[in-house]
Amino acid sequence: MKKDYTILVPTMLPMHFEILISVFRKSGYNCKLLKNEGDEVKEYGLKYVHNDTCYPAQVVIGQLIDAIENGGYDKNKIALMITQTGGGCRASNYISLLRKALFNAGYSHIPVISLNFAGLDDSSVKFDVPMVLKAVPSIMIGDLLMHLRNQCAPYEQNGESEKLCRKYIDKASEILTQNGLQNKKIQKLYKEIIQDFSKIKRDGKEKTRVGIVGEIFVKFSPLGNNDLESFLASQGAEVYMGGLMDFVLYCVYNSIADAKLYGMRKTKARLYKIVYNYLLKKQRAIIKLIEENSDFVPPAYFDETRKLADGYISIGMKMGEGWLLTCEMLELIHSGVKNIVCAQPFGCLPNHIAGKGMMKVLKENFNDVNIVAIDYDASASRVNQENRIKLMLANSNED
């Protein structure tokens, strides 16, 4: 079916996903990244997903059904791709929720493909080695572009960072779809990106630095968080946020922790330890490149971030974003970013515990932090969300 079908993919991180999709295309998956948005997406989500279910499921499934109904695709030649984390919360159930929604909408003939690395479903994407190895730089490049753009955009004059993002998404996609792993070209690309962003003329006016943490979908997806990054930028803030690779490292580390805490799957844990160290080495190399080639603040090193959990939250708390969410707030506080927006989806119990539930103790231990939890929900008012963020900015704390 690969050659005849178009695979629709919901958007979470537009830059990362665009590069990843080019890698998938090279392996024969004809993917199309969805860009449809607006009230209809939420309406379809509410209509076909139980209203007790967490908000990201409603948005993701709503976007897919809206694309089927209104996207002009041949309904007999499309498939849908959706991620499955394999975690204990509802993220692993999105695939069943989507199948149920398709059945109710009269599209049960449309195949669903699960994107996961653990073979959780019969329909899982069959990863080949080049796909996996190229997924790593795809995520690294997406994180790097996001990180540098956030540090340039509030200070530049002519939207240069967006233009550079476009240029390097295309260039990365072009390199990663060549045969072979192209390691040398990728290394060169990292450096070129950093050097090009360094050339952007930034004015020296101080901006309020605001960190974004939260459940992965509403943290990153402009569709899920009503374009939170752009809103903060429009309010004169400089945004800080951990990248997608941190979430990948968190998932990998959890398998190592399972062996430590519960004696589970020890052989598998050894393999995960190798993967963990490999990814850390890649992250360390990018941090070093940023330090050596620019005056940008490098991203935090994950192995240090995870240790911040000590004394606050157990690494056994790994539903949803679990301990990572608390660690990301602590990491922001330690690096002097005292204003934090914690993005929480409606219906997400794990993140209300590791995010909102940890705010009291963080405020007690760091009395100058300014954290606000913002709930995202199909019926939540965007104006109310933005007003609460404006209030937080009015009380902003800076070093």
Per CB under 6 A, residues contacting ligand SF4 are 54, 56, 89-91, 215, 320, 345, 348, 350-351
Residue 89 C-beta: closest distance to ligand SF4, Å = 3
Residue 322 C-beta: closest distance to ligand SF4, Å = 9
Residue 355 C-beta: closest distance to ligand SF4, Å = 10
Residue 200 C-beta: closest distance to ligand SF4, Å = 35
- The phi, psi pair for 329, rounded to 5°, reads -65, -45
Farthest CA pair distance, the chain: 59
Q: Which residues contact 101 (CB under 8 A, 6 or more apart)?
A: 48, 49, 61, 65
Of the pair 187, 314, the CB lying nearest ligand SF4 is at 314
Of the pair 168, 220, the CB lying nearest ligand SF4 is at 220
Q: CA 346, 347, 353, 354 torsion: positive or negative? A: negative
Helix or strand (DSSP H, E) at 273: helix 266-293
Residue 90 C-beta: closest distance to ligand SF4, Å = 4
Residue 46 C-beta: closest distance to ligand SF4, Å = 16
Of the pair 137, 322, the CB lying nearest ligand SF4 is at 322
Tally Cβ neighbours within 10 Å of residue 206: 10
Of the pair 173, 326, the CB lying nearest ligand SF4 is at 326
Residue 136 C-beta: closest distance to ligand SF4, Å = 23
The number of CA neighbours under 13 Å toward the Cβ of 338 is: 14
Distance CA 284, CA 106 (A): 49
**C-beta separation of 387 from 357 below 8 A:** no
Helix or strand (DSSP H, E) at 376: strand 370-376
Of the pair 56, 243, the CB lying nearest ligand SF4 is at 56
**C-beta separation of 23 from 176 below 8 A:** yes
- Which of 108, 87, 8, 104 shows the shortest CA–CA distance to 49? 104
**C-beta separation of 49 from 27 below 8 A:** no
